[in-house]
Structure 1
Amino acid sequence: MSYTNFQIGEKFPLPIRQQGEGGLFQVDVNGAMFILQLAKSDIIAIEAFRTGEMELALCEEDDILFLLYRIPGIFKEGWGDAPLSFGSLAAEQRPAEKSLADGRLHLCLVDARLSILLAQREATMPAPFAAQLRRHVREAAETPLSPASFAARVQAVWQRMSPAAMREKAAAVWEIPLALKGAPLH
């Protein structure tokens, strides 16, 4: 399934493993995707996601990779985080080396209540960001943590560190610039 064939205003076509507000970071056989679910959104939030500046970062703690995100226009300040897990993926859905070969991250804004795709964009990861993601995926996908072990480790990290503290320790940072209307993000 191609992430670029999703239709704005239609039901989000993939199953979302965690319902509710917040960010989800998924890497599977189709590539890398960041899904931001919001219960309340307006045209300003939709446009901020679709064309606005974003800052993303990767931080690895206790063998968990966290995608950290800051999106002005949606969040007034601060950072959010989305841990990456492979434990609930079926073997045929787990990422392979070719899953990340194109170096793109698909970004989707979804209405958390109705599961409707509100906005999407795609951007090519800078080399250090892509290399960090590929390294983690290669190591973690071979021996994924069980869902219970993953949850316990994530909770332990959250008790020790805020997303802002993780951002300070990030191994890779990516500033996605403002996208001109109609211009592709590459």
Structure 2
Amino acid sequence: MSDYANFQIGEQFPLPIKNQQDGGLFQIDANGCMFILQLSRTDIIAIEAFRTGKMQLALYEENGLLFFLYQIDGIFKEGWGDAPFTLAGIKPELLPTAKSMADHTLHLYLVDTRLQLLLAQRSVPIPDDFMAVLQKHVDLQKAAPLDEGAFRLAVQTIWAQKSPTQMREAASAVLDIELDIKPPQPRPSFKH
């Protein structure tokens, strides 16, 4: 990630978010890959689940479009969320570069929708097969950009035909993120 943004838990989220409503946003730009989950109602359990819990992420491809799918234990009881990926609306100077695509790290952010506060963050490595699908769609969209209206229509057409759970069943790549809680260290025993 670039050094220009200061990501501090409990502070204002430093990047502009166009669509400020509950749900996920997946973006690839000159700073790398990021997933932002916006929720208007959270508690300490949801924050910890995001920060350290088990997640499963997946990529679904259809008609040249890419959907980033997510399931997070402790936040969602069941089912999958989806975030369609597009480069439409990204300023030319912020488009993904060879350098940003070489960074196989996914930055995850949990943001309070109402206050735009950063509640939790996490970074996870992206496996090669997952990254190859992302690279393919970045290249496709750079070669033949979709305008926002055409993108929205294409996404709505797919949403009318498939649920996120059905998309997950036909996913091109899956990323399992394990629970990231360090077990307590045993205390040394002293003999009296």
TM-score (norm. length: structure 1): 0.94
Partner of 1:63: 64
Task: Confirm or deny that 1:145 pairs with 2:146.
Answer: yes
- Is the Cα contact below 8 Å between 1:106 and 1:123 reproduced in 2? yes
Question: For residues 85 and 121 of structure 1, what CA distance do their matches in structure 2 show?
Answer: 22
Misfit runs of 4+, over 4 Å: none
Partner of 2:116: 115
Question: For residues 4 and 83 of structure 2, what CA distance do their matches in structure 1 show?
Answer: 19
Give runs of aligned pairs for residues 99-178 of structure 1, distance below 5 A: 99-178=100-179
Aligned-residue offset at 1:18 = 1.2
- Is the Cα contact below 8 Å between 1:2 and 1:30 reproduced in 2? no
- Is the Cα contact below 8 Å between 1:107 and 1:120 reproduced in 2? yes
Letter in 2 for 1:17: K
Structure 2, unpaired ranges of 5+:
184-192
Structure showing greater radius of gyration is 2
Question: For residues 159 and 31 of structure 1, what CA distance do their matches in structure 2 show?
Answer: 30
- Is the Cα contact below 8 Å between 1:21 and 1:37 reproduced in 2? yes
Any idea what the Cα deviations from partners look like across 1:99-124, whole Å, max 9, x if unmatched? 12120000000001110000000000
Any idea what the Cα deviations from partners look like across 1:44-88, whole Å, max 9, x if unmatched? 000000000000000111211100000010000000000011110
TM-score (norm. length: structure 2): 0.91
State the Cα RMSD in Å: 1.5
Change (3 A) 1:2 1:161: farther
Question: For residues 36 and 82 of structure 1, what CA distance do their matches in structure 2 show?
Answer: 10
Question: For residues 134 and 65 of structure 1, what CA distance do their matches in structure 2 show?
Answer: 11
Letter in 2 for 1:114: L
SS of the residue corresponding to residue 69 of structure 1 reads strand
Question: For residues 47 and 53 of structure 1, what CA distance do their matches in structure 2 show?
Answer: 10
Question: For residues 45 and 4 of structure 1, what CA distance do their matches in structure 2 show?
Answer: 24
Letter in 1 for 2:120: A
The number of equivalent residue pairs is 182
Aligned-residue offset at 1:143 = 2.3
Any idea what the Cα deviations from partners look like across 1:131-167, whole Å, max 9, x if unmatched? 1111111121232210000000010010000000000
- Is the Cα contact below 8 Å between 2:67 and 2:82 reproduced in 1? yes
